[in-house]
Amino acid sequence: MQNLPKGSKKLLTAWAFYDWANSVYSLVIASAVFPIFYGALTLVKNEQGEILDDTITFLGYDFNNDTLISYVTAAAFLVVSVISPLLSGIADYIGNKKIFMKFFCYMGALACIGLYWFTLEYLWFGLLCYFLALIGFWASLVFYNSYLPDIAFPEQQDRISAKGYSLGYIGSVVLLVICLAMILMHESFGFEDEGMPTRLSFVLTGLWWIGFSQYTYYYLPKGNKKEKFTRQLLFNGFRELRLIWNRLKENLALKRYLMAFFVYSMAVQTIMLVATYFGIEELDWGTTEPTTGLIVSILLIQLVAVIGAILTSRSSAKFGNIQTLMGLNVIWIVICVYAYTITSPTQFYVTAAFVGLVMGGIQSLSRSTYSKLIPEGALDTASYFSFYDVSEKIGIVIGMFSYGYVAQATGSIRYAILFFILFFVTGLILLFRVPRKA
């Protein structure tokens, strides 16, 4: 470990490089390869590719396969939403937060490697690995993000944060392309078993995450504060959340905006998590290879999202943040209405392109709008954003449970889209009530 001064270019690059290391989880495990693998493992199809059975027995109960994975996802995010304030309190006060960041990083990465042994026979083990990988990813980010004010001066933070995002995008795409090449050209790589390259993708994800994070750990300091760890510090994060909750009563614009964000974010985040599962079960791929088509659509979303973020930024500068967010919610409603009717891969690609266009934009603009509405001169901005993050995670829990319940009750995940429309309509109505200050 080297002790580099705050603001050092090498230190900032090392911090941003953790995005390169960990973003492979969000693309390979959360969005692309694992959902396809899970669908192939849990669906019974005939020779024509038609689904005959999508039921899984787990802990003595029968579940729709999408319902089961959505419940596990929701449970993991519920854990994250509970422990995040605890971890924030620890990160703010202890002198060695790097050890906590390493713990969750290694836990998540090893859980990704554990997915190699995901089978229906040992379903509990596979779901446990999926559960722990999600928690490891999001919990490590609590400590990663808390380093930013420690290693960068205020005027450097926007630039280095954007650099991290860029490195994460590039790194995750690089590994996804490698995995896709192994899966589609398995014979050229010497794999007789078609499923082996997919399982190895999970191993590569874990090794990539652990391996490249070492560069970050080599240069990051242990932490700046060295206060004694006490029970009072442990629950500091929850006290801060309660304080922000009380302050919302005095800030009408922020309170109404947060209500709107909470509702429409449920739909946005849930769609991002379940889009691949929808493509697997609800589309007629015909002679097209579903794996190729789904991963191409995910890459399309990634590319178009960059353009969408730029267009959204320009729109907000011209029309205002709230007005632009209202427009984005309208576009999401149209996308959901169209998605409810799609059956072909071409229609799915069109939907993916429009999702990408508004996905990046609504995420970036939602956060910057919240930042603008925080009282000017507030000293506890970290607490405000902790409240924002916990709200987002709880929204994901509700969204995933709603999605899973509808899929279980109706036998088709297509009907869950109707709930997403309801969320966006409600969010749009709530945005109308926000005073125009952003």
The pLDDT score that the predictor gives to residue 430 is: 93
The pLDDT score that the predictor gives to residue 127 is: 94
- C-alpha dist (Å) from residue 125 to 75, 208, 273, 276, 401: 16, 22, 21, 22, 21
Backbone angles phi, psi at 304, to 5 degrees: -70, -30
CB 253 within 8 Å of CB 434: yes
Token pair in block for residue 203: 């191993």
pLDDT tens profile 70-111:
899 999 999 988 887 777 667 656 656 788 889 999 999 999
Tokens 């192994």 sit on residue: 182
- What is the Cα–Cα distance from 87 to 81, expressed in whole angstroms? 10
The pLDDT score that the predictor gives to residue 92 is: 59
Token pair in block for residue 302: 């990634």
The pLDDT score that the predictor gives to residue 45 is: 56
CB 67 within 8 Å of CB 404: yes
* Domains present along the chain, CATH in parentheses: 7-229 (1.20.1250.20), 235-438 (1.20.1250.20)
Please indicate, yes or no, whether the overall pTM of this predicted structure exceeds 0.85: no
- Taking the CA atoms of residue 304, residue 308, residue 345 and residue 35 in that order, the dihedral angle to the nearest 10 degrees is 80
The pLDDT score that the predictor gives to residue 95 is: 59
- pLDDT lower than 50: segments of the chain: 46, 48, 438
H and E: helices and strands count for the chain: 16, 4
Token pair in block for residue 175: 């590994």
